[in-house]
Each structure stands twice: as structure tokens, then as C-alpha cells.
Amino acid sequence: MFRPSFPRTFVAALVLALVGLLRAALSAAEPASPVQNLLFAADDPADLRARLLAHADSVSADALDAGEAWYWAGVSWERAGHADSALVAFGRARALRGNLEETLAEIDLRIARRSAGDLDSAAALAARLAAQPLGRLTDEVRLRDAWIRTQRGDAAALSPILDARRSPLFRPHAGIARRPLWAWRFAPLALAAGDGDAAWRLASPLVADTRGRDPEVTRLARAASVGRPIGTDYDHWQQSAILRADTTELAGLVGLGARLLTVKAEDGAALAAWYLPGPREAPIAVVTAPIEGEALVACDSLIVQLRRGGLAVVLLDPRGVRRSASATEPAALLRTDGQDGAQRRLARDLSVTLSVAARAAGTASPRGLAVGVGPAAMAAVLASADDPRLLAVLLAGPEIAPTERGWLRATLARSGTPAFFESGPENVFENLAIERIVAELPPTQTRVADSRMPGHGAALFRADAAEGGRVTAWLAGILKRPRATPPSRPR
């Protein structure tokens, strides 16, 4: 049988062309709603909430428009750590338009909060979803419904979730947001039900993700290992698992001359970072390691290219990630609230990491750039705005939360920080948001590059050396000149 063969370059070009057509089609489709426009217009989270509430009041007769405004106000309040206000907003959104998103958001918040009456309220909401057509076929709904029912004493609800053939938790490609969090929630239930195998499969990956430094994760995995035919005791398995998780990372980093640094944050938290030296007095790229996956495996090509461009690199494990996890900084994968505060803390941690790396390099006057990988984009922009030593920001596959869009745009506009956006072909809607943010900034301040490599975050730089070469060519000019002062706003 004849099978046509196409060069990889042709296939990559075809994918990019199709993505371009999809972008154009989406851009030409129905214009953004007034609320979507507000997400880009606000200067910070507080300003966004004020704008959304004012808009909801002004369009109270339009249930869909007002409901959308209340939903995003709830999301913003939840990210700010104000659960009570978020629940009121989600309730208003449900009463006005009743979309799935605000219902799931309220269920999740009540599950996480667990105040008096929360479980009953979540159960009522989940029952309505499950009663809708196809409701029980949705993995997201199934998990929430099963969790709530088990918490209310329905032991039968747990069985389908622990079934290795039926459960979405054991299907790698199931569409589940926050999979590690759901694994963490159901693992103790599996253990209590006597299903040590399911408990082990759910809990053990978290041990490697946290490098055995989160005591609660370790305690649960140790309990799940009892009686398992793993051929060794749990402590020996844990050391082996962590060693396996570290092997590629350590081999690559040590081979590049890296050394492990301890970063003492402003609040005393002990964080870990890998420092890879560059030429004498070289600029320093402060990179946020990905929250999920192996740090080096995801960032290897980016690190190599930055060093090839004459920079030193320091790779920071954010709080609760790998070596920066501890009893006081539990696993970031399991956190559910306070995302805005976490971005601000990470921004300050990046600045402190620059100082620590400068001492390791013997540099008295450090300068460099902040590199935000994936969801750390906002933190990198905040760090570069607040720390004049960070002359530029590189956003690798940025995942910008909708409530961060205006905040990120306004922060770049205020600071004038040059910004490089590396986007990928898979997330069309994220790329459309990037294009709109960039369109509202001075053309000379930003650069957007489309990677030919599928994937997310720093892995987009694996396409070839030219992918990273665009960044270092851009940086060559940026790092030689002082940051431009942005024009003052008209009064």
C-alpha cells in the first residue's frame, strides 16, 4: 500500500497555517462581550472587580451580561482569597444566567472551604448538574458528585472512581482540571475503603513531584504502601522514586556546571534554585521552573540557548514545588486559593533569587531578565516592574488567567519593560489574548514569536536552536541599554 511521506517541516508549516486560519476565523467571529473587554481594561484585580460590579449594575436588565460580570467578579475574589464575597458573586451569576462555569466554581469553593452548610449546598448544586442531559457523563461533574456523596456517607459512590478501567482519574487523557488535587482527595478514601492499590497509584506520583519534602504526601503514600508487593520498604522506595525523578535533571544540570543554591525569601521561606554560571559579569536570567513535570526536561533547550547567548541562568523551584516544598510550603499542585497573592510572592522570590545568584557569581551590580514559564507569567511581569535590575521579561508559553489579562497589560504599560512572548500552536485562545495585550502596548516594547513545537511552557523552545536564537538576538540589544521610561499618563 502506498503511504505518502511528508517532511516534518511541511507538517509543521501546515499546522501553523491551520492555526493561523483558526485564529483569523475566531477573530472575525462574534466580537468580545463588554465583560471580556473589561478583563483586558482593568489595571489590577481590585480595579477589575470594581469595573465588573459597576457594569453588572448598569446592565441589570440584561441577565446574561450581568451574570457574566458577576461570575468573573467571583473568580477574582476567589483568587484574592475572599471566599465569602466569591460565593455571593457566584450565587448572583447562577441566579441571572445559570451557566455551568459558575455552578462548578461554587461547588469547588464550597468543597475547599468546608464551612457549616457548605457540603449540603454543594450537594444540591451537584445534584442539579447530574440531573441535566449528559451531566453524569462529564468527568468534571462525576468527580465532584462522587466526592460530595462520599463525604455524606454514600460509600457506593467511591467504587466507580477507584475502578481502574472506568475512573477518569486513571485515564491519562481524561479532561480533568487539577488532576493531582483530585488524586490527593480520593487517595485517603481509597485507603480507608481497603483499596491500597488505588491509594498507592493516586498518592505515589505526588511523592516524586514534591521530592518527598511534603510531610502529608509522604505520610499518605507510606500508609498506602503497607502490604504492597513492591519488594522493599516504603522509605527505600521513596528514595528510589526521588532518585529516578532527579536522574535526568541532575545529570543535565551538573553536566552544565550547575550548583544548588538555597534562597531565603523575605518571609524566611527556604527555596531551592539551580545556578548555571555564564561569562564574568554576565546578565542573569531568573527562570521559574514548571510546577508540573521535570524542571530541566522542560527547560533544557531554553537554558542552553540563554547560556549560548552569554547569560548566566538560575532556575528557581517556586514555593511548594520539588525542593522548595516543605512542611511550611506544602505542594503547590494541591493549593486551591490565593493565586493572586501567590503571584506577588513569586515575584518577590524572583528578585531575591537574582541577588542570591549574583553573590554566587561574584557580581556586585547584577542585571538580567525574569523568565515566567506557563502560569508564572504574571509573577515575572510583576518582578520586572518592581526590580529595576530586571531589564526585560521573557514569557515562555504564558498561561495568563482571564482575570490577569488587564493586570499584566497595565503592569507592562506602567513599567515599560521590554517583553518577549513565546507562544505555541496548541492554545489558540491563549494566543488570541496575547495578541490583544500586545496590540495595546507600544510596538517597540514587545515581541511575539510562534513556536513550531507542540507543547506548553518552556518546551516550546525545543523546536530547534533558531527558536531560542530569536530570544537571544532580541536580548542582545535590550540588555545593552537602560530601560525606557514609559510616557506619563494624561491627567
Q: What band does 205 get if pLDDT is binned at 50, 70 and 90?
A: confident
**E-strand spans in 295-379?**
312-316, 368-373
DSSP 476: H
What's the pLDDT at 133?
67
Residue 333 vs residue 319, higher pLDDT: 319
What fold does the segment set 256-478 form as a domain? Rossmann fold (3.40.50)
| Residue 363, C-alpha cell as written in the block | 557580581
Query: What CA–CA distance (Å, rounded) separates 408 from 447?
Result: 15
DSSP 97: T
- pTM value is 0.86
Q: What band does 225 get if pLDDT is binned at 50, 70 and 90?
A: confident
**E-strand spans in 72-140?**
none
DSSP 330: -
Q: What band does 165 get if pLDDT is binned at 50, 70 and 90?
A: confident
Kindly tell me if the per-residue pLDDT of 383 is higher than 70: yes
Q: What is the mean pLDDT of the chain?
A: 84
Angle at alpha carbon of residue 364, lines to 315 and 322, rounded to 5°? 15
Which residues are within 8 A (CB) of 335 and not within 5 positions of it... i.e. 6 or more apart? 320, 342
Stretch among 54-68, 317-331, 394-408 having the lowest mean pLDDT? 317-331
Angle at alpha carbon of residue 355, lines to 353 and 361, rounded to 5°? 105
For cell 537574582, the residue is 354
Q: Can you spell out the DSSP letters for 154-222?
A: -GGGTHHHH-TTT-GGG-TTS--TTHHHHHHHHHHHHHHTT-HHHHHHHHHHHHHHTTT--HHHHHHHH
For residue 255, report the phi and psi dihedrals to the nearest 5 degrees: -65, -25
Kindly tell me if the per-residue pLDDT of 153 is higher than 50: yes
Are 66 and 87 in contact by the 8 Å Cβ rule? The answer is no
Residue 467 vs residue 135, higher pLDDT: 467
Query: What CA–CA distance (Å, rounded) separates 284 from 287?
Result: 9
What's the pLDDT at 245?
60
CA atoms within 13 A on the CB side of 384: 33
> Once rounded to an integer, what is the mean pLDDT over residues 163-173?
85
What's the pLDDT at 477?
85
What's the pLDDT at 60?
92
Query: For the chain, where do the domains classified as CATH 3.40.50.1820 start and end?
Result: 256-478
What's the pLDDT at 249?
60
Which residues are within 8 A (CB) of 136 and not within 5 positions of it... i.e. 6 or more apart? 130, 142, 145
Percentage of the chain lying above the pLDDT 90 cut = 51
What's the pLDDT at 469?
85
pLDDT digits (tens, 9 = 90+) for 7-50: 444 334 444 444 444 444 444 445 689 999 999 999 999 999 99
What's the pLDDT at 406?
98
Residue 439 vs residue 258, higher pLDDT: 439
pLDDT digits (tens, 9 = 90+) for 443-453: 999 999 888 87
Q: What band does 248 get if pLDDT is binned at 50, 70 and 90?
A: low
> Once rounded to an integer, what is the mean pLDDT over residues 396-416?
96
For cell 448598569, the residue is 58
What's the pLDDT at 440?
95
